[in-house]
């Protein structure tokens, strides 16, 4: 038997250095914990194995929240983006979502450098093959080299590497993403320790060369003229942006794919894992929507130092010859060569309902889980969970209460509550429609919602906090000024008429005028000589808050009702089998998930309003007994 080599002790070991692992390790180290983060290959640190972009609908909100709490993702993408766009601007501000195309290699470089420079943190190349668990708690991590690192807590953030298997047509083989090695032994050890695994799958499109493309046959997608930063540490950004392109499939594309359905790994029966509903392969799209005449795909650069272009919207598990044939039927892609073929990948993950809201495992003390290992998809969802897992591991090590954000406070709260309370039968993706209180949870006010909380747990540093306080003071002062500054008809009517707005008859405040749909903060500037110079993000907060005040107030009332249920704590050791009148299904679900509050219990599938009433009566009875 090989001798175990005992290495130095760490407070926390993070297994995996993808988007979840990086945020977890940085958060814990910044909170003073001696942290080791392991990557099977240092070239895989924060790699963008799928789409080389950060943000998007709902996802942009997560990045802003990560940044507001003191995370890293927003800072990095602001440094390395090559195109930036605000999505959904034709809709209300609740669903405005920032998305930035990244320079893939530079993103990896910048995040890796942040890890390497972080005090209390060591980034190490090494494969974890076992987690030492004794007496129901974490004791250490064993590497393939037989090096053993004693630790008190672990964050598992293995992404799609755990038990990874790639599928291209009828060819399939053990592999992590992009041809890197899979982590197979750790998956087996986790099963032996009583962690049941599930198989999920995802996929990625092919990469082609810029020189092979005819952009004259595609629609140009320009970046926004005014660039909005992800990080609240940046007031503005200026950069010459790269172009992206839009093109479409056609009847010939669809004919080739349909004639080869039987050769797809997805339809051939080889793939067991469940794929993401909201990011299907092109063959799945044709199977589900046979009446649709065309599907769009975006052609996006992978970075400034490479000729590779990414074909967003065209993931596939078809054989390589079929891929080449159908890609070449698409306008502008007639001469493409595949430098990286599209593939599907299966991987192991756990049921997130086995976790607490802190992302600690219910039955193993000190074991925290994050990212695709929890059944989610996407870089942003992974990073958000990684940040929270790292924070809570650090707090747990200090014997402090966990840091849990609820659904009314953040998209991060929605994401984690959905996973832990409701569970997921497919790779979970955040969407604005999942947030009941999305008008309050806008991306523009993430700092007002969360930076004070990040400061309280020790993650927000002095520079960020001072900047936040200055921005908050500017916002509050401008709100007060607009609500108190009155204009006479003589002062404002000429401007109102020129803007197609009705003149006023009596003195009216600037705030009241801004509530008119046709008027904006900027359009009223000529009649407002006393306005101060403010950063764009402060102006946005002010305008949205004033224009949507009535709707926001109504949503705040809904949040207060929600908070009352969330505030009704359920004892961790409650014996649900002893509570009369609870239905059997409710007892089983409640006993498995062990909700922290009545509010969380009410969101569990299988727990009815009648069951909640039973728990209310039980809580009141216990209160009277006390």
Asked whether residue 198 falls in the same domain as residue 216, the answer is no
Q: Which residue has the higher pLDDT, 3 or 162?
A: 162
Give the H/E segment covering residue 410: none
Asked whether residue 335 falls in the same domain as residue 449, the answer is no
Interatomic CA distance for residues 138 and 147, integer angstroms: 16
Average pLDDT score, the chain: 95
Which of residues 303, 324, 344 is at a domain's end? Answer: 344
Asked whether residue 211 falls in the same domain as residue 196, the answer is no
Residue 329 belongs to some domain of the structure: yes
Asked whether residue 308 falls in the same domain as residue 411, the answer is no
Contacts of 331 (CB under 8 A, 6+ apart): 214, 217, 218, 247, 248, 250
Q: Any idea what the CATH number is for the domain that residue 600 is in?
A: 1.10.150.570
Residue 431 belongs to some domain of the structure: yes
The mean per-residue pLDDT over the stretch 492-500 comes to 95
Percentage with pLDDT > 90 across the chain: 91
Which of residues 456, 491, 524 is at a domain's end? Answer: 456
Asked whether residue 12 falls in the same domain as residue 129, the answer is yes
Number of domains composing the chain: 4
Collapsed DSSP state (helix, strand, coil) of residue 485: coil
Q: What is the pLDDT of residues 568-621, one digit of tens each?
A: 999 988 999 999 889 999 999 999 999 999 999 999 999 998 999 999 999 888
Residue 359: DSSP 8-state: S
Residue 37 belongs to some domain of the structure: yes
Asked whether residue 246 falls in the same domain as residue 328, the answer is yes
- Rounded to two decimals, the pTM is 0.95
Residue 552 belongs to some domain of the structure: yes
Asked whether residue 512 falls in the same domain as residue 579, the answer is no
Interatomic CA distance for residues 233 and 524, integer angstroms: 28
Residue with tokens 């400061």: 455
Q: Whole domain around residue 287: which residue ranges?
A: 207-344
Look at residue 24 in the predicted model and tell me its pLDDT: 98
Residue 464 belongs to some domain of the structure: no
Q: What is the pLDDT of residues 14-70, one digit of tens each?
A: 999 999 999 999 999 999 999 999 999 999 999 999 999 999 999 999 999 999 999
Collapsed DSSP state (helix, strand, coil) of residue 189: helix
Collapsed DSSP state (helix, strand, coil) of residue 214: coil
Tokens representing residue 393 in the block: 């591991």
Residue 102 belongs to some domain of the structure: yes
Residue 438 belongs to some domain of the structure: yes
- Cβ neighbours around 55 below 10 Å, total: 29
């Amino acid at each position: 038997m090989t001798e175990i080599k005992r290495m130095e002790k760490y407070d926390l070991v993070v297994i995996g250095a993808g988007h979840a692992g990086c945020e977890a390790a940085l958060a814990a180290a910044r909170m003073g914990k001696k942290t080791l983060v392991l990557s099977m290959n240092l070239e895989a640190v924060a790699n963008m194995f799928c789409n080389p972009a950060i943000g998007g609908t709902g996802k942009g909100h997560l990045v802003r929240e990560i940044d507001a709490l003191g995370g890293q993702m927003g800072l990095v993408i602001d440094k390395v983006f090559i195109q930036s766009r605000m999505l959904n601007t034709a809709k209300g501000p609740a669903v405005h979502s920032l998305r930035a195309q990244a320079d893939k290699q530079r993103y990896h470089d910048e995040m890796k450098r942040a890890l390497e420079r972080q005090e209390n943190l060591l980034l190490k190349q090494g494969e974890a093959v076992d987690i030492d668990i004794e007496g129901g708690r974490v004791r250490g991590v064993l590497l393939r080299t037989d090096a053993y690192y004693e630790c008190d807590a672990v964050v598992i953030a293995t992404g799609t590497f755990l038990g990874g298997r790639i599928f291209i047509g009828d060819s399939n083989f053990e592999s992590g993403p992009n041809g890197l090695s899979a982590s197979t032994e750790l998956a087996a050890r986790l099963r032996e320790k009583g962690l049941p695994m599930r198989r999920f799958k995802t996929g990625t499109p092919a990469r082609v060369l810029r020189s092979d493309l005819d952009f004259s046959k595609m629609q140009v997608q320009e970046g926004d003229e005014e660039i909005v930063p992800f990080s609240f540490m940046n007031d503005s950004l200026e950069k010459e942006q790269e172009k992206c392109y839009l093109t479409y499939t056609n009847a010939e594309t669809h004919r080739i794919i349909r004639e080869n359905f039987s050769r797809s790994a997805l339809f051939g029966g080889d793939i067991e894992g469940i794929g993401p509903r909201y990011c299907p392969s092109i063959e799945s799209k044709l199977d589900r929507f046979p009446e649709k005449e065309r599907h769009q795909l975006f052609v996006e650069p992978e970075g400034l130092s490479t000729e590779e272009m990414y074909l967003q919207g065209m993931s596939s598990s078809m054989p390589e010859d079929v891929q080449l044939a159908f890609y070449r039927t698409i306008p502008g892609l007639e001469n493409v060569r595949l430098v990286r073929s599209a593939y599907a990948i299966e991987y192991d993950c756990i049921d997130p309902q086995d976790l607490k809201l802190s992302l600690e495992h219910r039955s193993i003390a000190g074991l925290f889980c994050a990212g695709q290992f929890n059944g989610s998809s996407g870089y942003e969802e992974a990073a958000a969970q990684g940040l929270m897992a790292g924070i809570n591991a650090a707090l747990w090590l200090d014997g402090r209460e966990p840091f849990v954000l609820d659904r009314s406070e953040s998209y991060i709260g929605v994401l984690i509550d959905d996973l832990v309370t409701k569970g997921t039968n497919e790779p979970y993706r955040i969407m604005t429609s999942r947030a009941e209180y999305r008008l309050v949870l806008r991306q523009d006010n993430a700092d007002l919602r969360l930076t004070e909380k990040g400061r309280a747990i020790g993650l927000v540093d002095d520079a960020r906090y001072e900047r936040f306080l200055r921005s908050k003071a500017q916002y509050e002062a401008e709100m007060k000024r607009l609500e108190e500054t009155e204009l006479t008809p003589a002062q404002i009517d000429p401007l109102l008429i020129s803007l197609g707005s009705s003149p006023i008859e009596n003195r009216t405040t600037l705030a009241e005028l801004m509530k008119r749909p046709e008027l904006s903060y900027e359009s009223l500037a000529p009649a407002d000589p006393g306005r101060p110079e403010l950063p764009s993000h402060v102006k946005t907060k002010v305008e949205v808050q004033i224009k949507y005040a009535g709707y926001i107030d109504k949503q705040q009332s809904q949040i207060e009702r929600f908070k009352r249920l969330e505030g009704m704590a359920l004892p961790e050791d409650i014996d649900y089998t002893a509570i009369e009148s609870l239905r059997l299904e409710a007892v089983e679900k409640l006993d498995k998930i062990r909700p922290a509050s009545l509010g969380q219990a009410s969101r569990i599938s299988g727990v009815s309003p009648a069951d909640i009433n039973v728990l209310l009566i039980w809580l009141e009875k216990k209160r009277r007994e006390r």
